[in-house]
């Protein structure tokens, strides 16, 4: 179940279970386009990779089929690329990086030019982090299970945030 | 990419002292090694393990292609010197061509191609995972087939190894790799880096029964893994404590490691039973990759294998973690089957082991083919 609440700071959601994570992923997948950057922030175990996995598998393959595939954690490989429509998804995990310059080695420019970028630990990007981005903050609620997700839009996303079909999801 | 059989006059038969230079630059390590056949490691250098390259205690990953480029030439020179061979003594050059970071892989592959072209030597594009998979044949002379548990920071999979280039995947992780779970657990418990040894050390002092952590996938059919939830459970267990001391860290580390051991044993049991049916023999079970260095996990897997009537083997630690000797050896394995790669072979950042099968040479004489029943 997803509960959402709009605030001046963005949209706050309660993700009670995996189904809610998938519902959020589906809502995001419906509006994604080439060039988009989604920055996933949260501590270890907060669910960044789980949301990225749901999002990648919520997007169709280039041939239009919907076939889920394994989305392993990219912590050690640093980046994984998935062929998806409307654009390839570049899934970065910058946890192990120490210098923003290293991101260039991972194909950051190419990813920005052709793909949809999902990036975990975006703080490692420094000045490379574009203003046009959707920030998704994930954390554990003070009481009870599940996760809290806060969506904040920068640049074009301030408007696009309102177009997210979160009302199709059960709300509190 | 098609493999090119060597011309007749170039072909060397097994056992005449083939010597191959191997290069590994696919991820954090820059490495060069010289290995010969019959199996003998003449030199095996890993940059981060050389004293003069430990500015940060060897913990900062050298992911930059620039770094590989800066160090590879001198490392090759040193590996050749320590091996006591010149380029004229080589029978081939092998380099990791994937999977891995494209920049690093390019440096190794281009260097290997340059040496091969300049010296008229065959070039072998080696799959990094195949390097791990075949190491036990370098160290123990093991015959095919065998069951492989490949567990490292970035990989976690169970495979039936039928021969060079012939792998059948039984299962893999659906989220985190085991080594990654160890590293992140170490971080959550403030145990330092590298996480694997840190957790193992703490666990040795701890009570594995104190915390009831989940054992993901335990008892389920199949050979897949999942470790993400276990990591989160460690975090929640810590947050649920009123005080967190060395005792708590040790007990949580021990509970975590015990869960991992049980899950690995459970998945390997399923794999060993499937392997016994498909290949008509009990194992052996080979454990490779950096996580194989964990003594507690090794002991648990050895007990499991023995209970299933199988042997368990694990290469020595220095050959479990990323190295170039395994790449040189994989090169030898291919060359002695008469297989090398064209100089226009393109590095492959994503390169699952099963994809090798399509370019695999004919099965080696030591490879017992799977019974017909397995080939469905």
Give, for all 172 residues of chain A, the pLDDT tens digit.
Answer: 555 555 556 898 989 888 899 999 999 999 999 999 999 999 998 999 999 999 999 999 999 998 888 888 888 888 889 999 999 999 999 988 877 778 887 889 999 999 999 999 999 998 999 999 999 999 998 877 889 999 999 999 999 998 888 875 555 4
Q: Does residue A159 fall inside a structural domain? A: no
Q: Point out the residue among B102, B174, B180 whose CB comes nearest to the CB of A76.
A: B180
DSSP 8-state symbol, B18:
E
Residue B273: both structure tokens together: 């039973």
> CB–CB of B350 and A45 under 8 A?
no
Please report residues of A whose CB lies closer than 8 A to that of B196.
Answer: none
Number of independent structural domains in chain A: 1
| Percentage above 70 pLDDT, chain B | 86
Residue B375's pLDDT band, with cuts at 50, 70 and 90, is: very low
Structure ipTM: 0.82
Which tens digit of pLDDT belongs to each residue from A73-113? 888 888 889 999 999 999 999 988 877 778 887 889 999 99
Would the pLDDT of B367 be above 70?
no
Q: Taking the alpha carbons of A10, A11, A17, A21 in that order, is the dihedral positive or negative?
A: negative
Q: B370 vs B272, which has greater pLDDT?
A: B272
> CB–CB of B349 and A75 under 8 A?
no
- Whole-Å CA distances, B335 to B4, B117, B279, B340: 10, 16, 26, 6
pLDDT at A83: 93
pLDDT at B17: 84
Q: Please state whether beta strands B123-127 and B156-163 pair in parallel, antiparallel, or not at all (unpaired).
A: unpaired
> CB–CB of A76 and B188 under 8 A?
no
Prediction pTM value: 0.86
Q: What is the nearest CA distance from A165 to chain B, expressed in angstroms?
A: 28
For residue B42, give the 3-state DSSP assignment.
strand
* A141 in contact with chain B, both atoms CB, cutoff 8 A: no
Residue B4's pLDDT band, with cuts at 50, 70 and 90, is: very low
Full domain range(s) for residue A74: 29-139
* A41 in contact with chain B, both atoms CB, cutoff 8 A: no
Average model confidence (pLDDT) for chain B? 88
pLDDT, average across residues B201-205: 97
Residue B366's pLDDT band, with cuts at 50, 70 and 90, is: very low
pLDDT at A4: 58
pLDDT at B126: 97
Among B62, B153, B156, B175, the strongest candidate for a mutation testing the A interface, having the largest count of A CBs within 10 A, is B175
Among B59, B154, B222, the strongest candidate for a mutation testing the A interface, having the largest count of A CBs within 10 A, is B154
β-bridge partners, A12: A5, A150
Would the pLDDT of B20 be above 70?
yes
Q: What is the CATH number of the domain that holds A41?
A: 3.40.50.300
Q: What is the nearest CA distance from A3 to chain B, expressed in angstroms?
A: 22
pLDDT, average across residues B86-111: 93
Q: CA-to-CA distance for B259 and A38, rounded, in angstroms?
A: 34
> CB–CB of A73 and B177 under 8 A?
yes
pLDDT, average across residues B344-362: 79
CB B321 within 8 A of CB B58: no
* A49 in contact with chain B, both atoms CB, cutoff 8 A: yes
pLDDT, average across residues B342-369: 72
Would the pLDDT of B148 be above 80?
yes
> CB–CB of B350 and A102 under 8 A?
no
Please report residues of B whose CB lies closer than 8 A to that of A78.
Answer: 63, 101
Q: Does residue A115 fall inside a structural domain? A: yes
* A81 in contact with chain B, both atoms CB, cutoff 8 A: yes
Please report residues of B whose CB lies closer than 8 A to that of A79.
Answer: 101
pLDDT at B362: 54
Q: B102 vs B231, which has greater pLDDT?
A: B231
Q: Does residue A130 fall inside a structural domain? A: yes
pLDDT, average across residues B317-333: 95
Please report residues of B whose CB lies closer than 8 A to that of A53.
Answer: 175
> CB–CB of A96 and B188 under 8 A?
no
Which tens digit of pLDDT belongs to each residue from B107-121? 999 999 999 999 999
* B263 in contact with chain A, both atoms CB, cutoff 8 A: no
pLDDT at B54: 47
Among A49, A72, A110, the strongest candidate for a mutation testing the B interface, having the largest count of B CBs within 10 A, is A72
Q: CA-to-CA distance for B292 and B286, rounded, in angstroms?
A: 10
pLDDT, average across residues B185-200: 90
Burial of B75: CB neighbours in 10 Å, binned 0-12, 13-18, 19+: buried
Domain B18-138+318-359 homologous superfamily, CATH: ATPase, nucleotide binding domain (3.30.420.40)
For residue B99, give the 3-state DSSP assignment.
coil
Domain B147-315, what fold? Nucleotidyltransferase; domain 5 (3.30.420)
Q: How many CB pairs under 8 A join A and B?
A: 76
pLDDT at B81: 97
pLDDT at A31: 95
pLDDT at B50: 67
Phi, psi at B6, each rounded to 5°: -70, 150
pLDDT, average across residues B294-320: 95
Q: B8 vs B204, which has greater pLDDT?
A: B204
Would the pLDDT of B57 be above 70?
no
Would the pLDDT of B344 be above 50?
yes
For A82, name the nearest residue in chain B, comparing CA atoms only.
Answer: B350
- One DSSP character per residue, chain A reads -EEEEEETTEEEEEE-SHHHHHHHHHHHHTT--TT-EEEEE--TTSSHHHHHHHHHHHSPPTTS----------TTTSEEEE--SSS-EEEEE-TT-S-THHHHHTTHHHHHHHSEEEEESGGGGGGGS-SSEEEEEEE--SSSSSEEEEEEEETTHHHHGGG---TTS---
Which tens digit of pLDDT belongs to each residue from B249-288? 999 999 999 999 999 999 999 999 999 999 999 999 999 9
Q: Does residue A18 fall inside a structural domain? A: no
């Amino acid at each position: 179940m997803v509960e959402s609440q709009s605030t001046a700071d963005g949209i706050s959601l309660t993700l009670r279970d995996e189904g809610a994570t998938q519902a959020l992923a589906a809502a995001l997948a419906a509006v994604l386009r080439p060039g988009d950057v989604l920055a996933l922030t949260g501590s270890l175990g907060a669910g960044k990779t789980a949301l990225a996995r749901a999002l990648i598998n919520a997007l169709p393959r280039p041939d239009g089929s919907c076939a889920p595939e394994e989305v392993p954690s990219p912590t050690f490989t640093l980046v994984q690329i998935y062929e998806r429509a409307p654009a390839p998804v570049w899934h970065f995990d910058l946890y192990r990086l120490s210098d923003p310059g290293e991101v260039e080695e991972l194909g950051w420019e190419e990813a920005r030019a052709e793909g949809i970028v999902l990036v975990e630990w975006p703080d490692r990007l420094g000045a490379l982090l574009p203003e046009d981005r959707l920030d998704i903050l994930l954390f554990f609620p003070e009481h009870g299970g599940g996760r809290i997700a806060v969506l904040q839009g920068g640049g074009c996303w301030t408007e696009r945030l309102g177009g997210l079909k979160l009302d199709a999801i059960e709300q509190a | 990419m098609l493999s090119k059989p060597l011309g007749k006059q170039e072909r060397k038969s097994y056992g005449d002292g083939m010597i191959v230079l191997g290069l590994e630059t696919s991820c954090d390590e820059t490495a060069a090694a010289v290995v010969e056949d019959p199996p003998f490691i003449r030199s095996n250098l890993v940059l981060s393990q050389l004293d003069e390259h430990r500015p940060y205690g060897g913990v900062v990953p050298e992911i930059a292609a620039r770094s590989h480029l800066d160090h590879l030439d001198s490392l090759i020179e040193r590996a050749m010197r320590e091996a006591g061979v010149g380029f004229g003594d080589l029978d081939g050059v092998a380099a990791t061509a994937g999977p891995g970071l494209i920049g690093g892989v390019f440096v190794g592959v281009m260097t290997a191609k340059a040496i091969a072209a300049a010296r008229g030597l065959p070039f072998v594009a080696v799959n990094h995972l195949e390097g791990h998979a075949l190491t036990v044949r370098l160290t123990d002379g093991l015959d095919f087939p065998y069951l492989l548990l490949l567990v490292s920071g970035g990989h976690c999979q169970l495979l039936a190894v039928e021969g060079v280039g012939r792998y059948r995947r039984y299962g893999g992780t659906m989220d985190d790799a085991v080594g990654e779970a160890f590293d992140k657990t170490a971080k959550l418990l403030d145990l330092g880096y590298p996480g694997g040894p840190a957790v193992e050390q703490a666990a040795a002092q701890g009570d594995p029964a104190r915390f009831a952590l989940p054992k993901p996938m335990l008892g389920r059919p199949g050979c897949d893994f999942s470790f993400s939830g276990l990591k989160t459970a460690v975090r929640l267990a810590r947050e649920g404590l009123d005080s967190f001391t060395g005792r708590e860290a040790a007990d949580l580390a021990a509970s975590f490691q015990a869960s991992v051991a049980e899950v690995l044993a459970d998945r390997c049991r399923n794999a060993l039973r499937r392997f016994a049916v498909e290949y008509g023999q009990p194992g052996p079970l080979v454990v490779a990759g950096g996580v194989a260095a964990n003594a507690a996990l090794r002991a648990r897997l050895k007990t499991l294998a023995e209970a299933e009537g199988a042997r368990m083997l694990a290469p020595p630690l220095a050959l479990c973690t990323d190295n170039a000797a395994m790449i040189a050896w994989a090169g030898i394995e291919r060359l002695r089957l008469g297989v090398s790669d064209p100089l226009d072979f393109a590095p492959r950042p994503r390169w699952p082991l099963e994809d090798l099968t399509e370019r695999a040479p004919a099965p080696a004489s030591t490879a017992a083919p799977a019974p017909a029943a397995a080939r469905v």
